[in-house]
Structures are given as structure tokens and as C-alpha cells.
Amino acid sequence: MTAPKPGAVSQWRRSFSEDDIRAFAELSGDKGRHHLERDEKGRLMAHGLLTATLPTKLGGDLHFIAADMTFEFLRPVYAGEELLCRAVVETVKAEPRRWAVSFSFVVTNPKGKKVLTGVTHGVIYRDEARPKKAVEAAVPPAEPVVAPAPAPSRDRKGFMQSAPAARAALVAELSAVLAKAASLSADERAVLAHVLAYAGYAEDGRLRIPSFAVLWGAAQSYVPAVRLEAERVAAAVRVLRRRGVLKAAEDELHREGAHDVSVVLDEAALRRLG
């Protein structure tokens, strides 16, 4: 790989679902009630260190090994908010077998307000300096191996405990299928990727969203609208409905103009497209 250039910018967007927040609470052990109970506006607050995974993703893209990271948490982040992380290469110094690199980064919320800033220092090894086994291990398999999603627990307590892991496994499996579904248009793919990112995990083991209308911003929900023009989203949804990938959870949704009914993702129909 070539040396990163000072001033180079990388960025990416993502949001965290309520399931992501609950799963991180289990993983980290941070079960503060502000992360597990909704506030007076019905919102669930993400962990600061969960938000801090955004710049670490950009570092991972460059095989950056951090020596230190400094964060300043400026505003709370809530489930469903799409965040933009922007990282800038500040300094690059050539060293034997590697480059010493520093980055600054800023994470902003949908209103453009800063929620997190920070800096990090570390190194990026040149390809020829990396051990051969490490290079081989970094090459992904041609076909990703994804563990099948576990069946949801039948009792409520068991479901609440198992749901985050079950949802994560199902989303990973269907994301792999989506990546191979060549028959989908770019808009259809964007809609399905959005559904996978934000859909809730139901007790029947299916992914669902409150309604079709939330996808293009015609109804308020924890699910943000897809970042496409409403007409394009609606057109893509119509095609996905005809294909059977997105289905109504209740029969009345099939009536013309009925939008305010829960919608499920039909995993079997999606798998057939892959």
C-alpha cells in the first residue's frame, strides 16, 4: 500500500439501532439505565464508546494500529440517528517498515451538530513488512461464511436476552445475500440495506419496520427515511413488494393507499434473489 497523504479525508455514515445499543450493553457490561430505558421523548441513548466505533472503522480500512485515541463527547446520540464520521490525515512520518500517522476526526448528527471529536496516533505497516501469515489472514474468503441465525426463544425473557445476537446473525446472513443479488437495482439495494440496518427483530424471528411510509419520510418513526428522493424510494418499494421481498404484516396493507401497518422482510424471497 502507498503512504497516506496529509490532508487526505475519509468518511462514512451509519446509525445505531436499539438492538445495536442493547447488544453493546451486553458486550461492554455498561448497562446504565439511560442506555436501556427510553427518555421522555421515547429515545434510547447510544453508548459513547459505541459512537466511537465510527472512526475506528475508518482506521481499520487503512490497517491503522492505534497507539492512543482521545475522544471528546459533545452531544448525546440516539438510536436511529444517521451519523457522519469524517477523518483527516494530519501527519505522516516514514519509519523503517512503517509510517507513523496521526488522524483527527469529527462525528456529526443529522442536524450537522458535532457529537464527537478526537485525535489518534499510531502506525500503518508497509505490506512487505507484514508477516506472511498476517497478510493471508487479512484476505477474506471468496464466499463469506455466515452462521445461520438462531431460532428465537419462545418465552419473553429468553427472547429479550437472545434477540440482539439472533438479529445480528440474521442481518449478517441477509447482508451477504444482498451483496450477491445482481438482479436488484441500486435503489432497491439501498432500500433493503436500510431495512436491514433499522428493522426491529420480532418474536417470530422476522425483521420488520413500522410501515412502508417511514421509508420515504411520510410517517414519523425511529426508522429514518432512506437517503433517496421519496419518489425513487416509493418506486423501489413497489418493485420489492411485487417480488415478495417486502410484505405487509397485516392483510389490509395490500389495499391501495394503506401504509400505516407493520411491514416484514421476507427472508426466503430475498435469498432467492441471491
Looking at residue 144, what is its pLDDT? 47
pLDDT tens-digit readout, 209-224: 888 888 888 877 778 8
For 231-270, the pLDDT digits (tens) are: 899 899 889 988 889 888 654 444 444 444 578 888 888 8
| Mean per-residue pLDDT, 15-44 | 90
Phi and psi, residue 180, nearest 5°: -100, -5
| pLDDT, position 61 | 85
E-strand ranges in the chain read 9-14, 65-73, 83-95, 98-108, 114-125, 200-201, 207-209, 246-248, 263-265
Name the nearest CA neighbour of 232 among 264, 269, 186: 186
User: Would the pLDDT of 117 be above 90?
Assistant: yes
**Cα–Cα distance measured from residue 117 to residue 87, given in angstroms and rounded to the nearest whole number:** 10
Task: Provide mean pLDDT across the span 101-119.
Answer: 94
pTM score:
0.48
Summarize the confidence of residues 53-62 as an average pLDDT. 87
Comparing 31-35, 75-79, 214-218, which segment has the lowest mean pLDDT? 214-218
Span 35-56, average pLDDT: 91
Could you tell me the three cell numbers for 244? 415478495
The residue assigned the cell 448497562 is 31
What's the rounded Cα separation, in Å, for the pair 22 and 32?
11
Residues above pLDDT 70, as percent of the chain: 82
| Secondary structure class of 59 (helix, strand, coil) | helix
Average pLDDT over residues 6-24: 91
- The SS3 of residue 81 is coil
Instruction: From 175, 176, 192, select the one nearest 142 (Cα to Cα).
Output: 176
Using CA atoms, how far apart are residues 267 and 269, in angstroms rounded to an integer? 5
Does the pLDDT of residue 50 top 90, yes or no?
yes
